[in-house]
Homo-oligomer: A and B are copies of this chain.
């Protein structure tokens, strides 16, 4: 075993999640590399110092360049706003440091392309943070599909639905003011687009319909215009020929973590809903017909990444554990020098689909991914 210094840029929601993950991952996965939470960077010196204490870092800074340059920081986790992703990542690669970057990769396809180029020319480990797909259940889904257990996929339906803006009276805020980057297409869609690509392969073409339902929201004593989208649908064709439909929403009243998919194949089907993330539903149409049904597989020690958390099946993993799995994989990538999915390139492919969806919506037509 040896120690590795971790630097995290971002002290919000995801910064904390990664801080916890890097403190837990060693004992959970009994990793060879043992992370040390070396430095955290947030926007002010005082704020950074406070976060360092709360989250358990040795040191802090308000300047991400200090963090990236610090000799004790061996690997960089980017959990800051998208506008900084590109510059930080390029600086870190320039200093020979592996980079884990939260989705979506930068502000769009341009940033993504630059980040992929830098990552690939550096030869350094790089990873994009799509945490929801990292549940044991979704990893199992990928294994089942890869093994051909449901035959050829003919249809993929996916969604990422939440309801945090379902109430028209929920006040305006940075999310509603931040333009496309913080709308539903920027914030939620990347997760399930990545899911679609991971589970059903590359998308060939799509048509979309994207809408801002509530165009104004209360803002203190007045109202503020909403600058981005509330929900959107895509229809698509995968390169395999399979049909797809995707739905993303922050106004799906009642949905809290509707990262869900239904995949139909020629020999079976798979269904999953993150609101019950410890179950994968599998239908096998090759067995005796009068005993067929969707079976609820509770994840357990036989399934990917589960055993590290618990020896008992059905005892369950949660949101924080997804981040721990990401940390484990990033450490393994660093230890072995091998790229581990999802890389920056995988992140870029997601951005291309989102771009295509905007183009389709804006031009009211089908868009081929080769156009992007």
Contacts and interface: CB of A to CB of B under 8 A. Distances in A.
A269 interface: yes
A19 B29 CA distance: 12
A162 B358 CA distance: 32
A131 to B, nearest CB: 10
Contacts of A245: 233, 245, 247
A282 B276 contact: no
A293 B285 contact: no
Contacts of A294: 254, 295-296
A53 B314 CA distance: 28
A171 to B, nearest CB: 15
Could you say how many copies of this chain the assembly holds?
4
A24 interface: yes
A162 B252 contact: no
A362 interface: no
Contacts of A44: none
Interface string A275-298: 111110111110001111111111
A254 B154 contact: no
Nearest to A286: B167
A254 B247 contact: no
A268 B254 contact: yes
A316 interface: yes
B54 A30 contact: yes
A265 to B, nearest CB: 6
Given A207-B207, A292-B297, A157 B266 contact: no
A320 to B, nearest CB: 5
A266 B56 contact: no
Interface stretch (A59-67, A93-101, A117-125, A302-310): A302-310
A235 interface: yes
Nearest to A34: B56
A311 interface: yes
A84 interface: no
Given A168-B266, A316-B277, A298 B233 contact: no
A257 B207 contact: no
A341 interface: no
Contacts of A276: 276, 278-279
A211 B168 CA distance: 38
B211 A243 contact: yes
A266 B310 contact: no
B312 A256 contact: yes
A338 interface: no
A253 B278 contact: no
B293 A150 contact: no
Contacts of A17: 310
Given A245-B233, A316-B319, A56 B26 contact: yes
A13 interface: yes
A267 B243 contact: no
Contacts of A312: 162, 164, 256-257, 319
Contacts of A230: 154
Given A154-B230, A275-B314, A293-B297, 19 more contacts: A19-B27, A26-B56, A28-B320, A154-B213, A154-B251, A155-B231, A164-B312, A207-B209, A209-B243, A233-B243, A233-B245, A245-B245, A254-B269, A256-B315, A276-B279, A282-B291, A293-B298, A294-B296, A312-B319
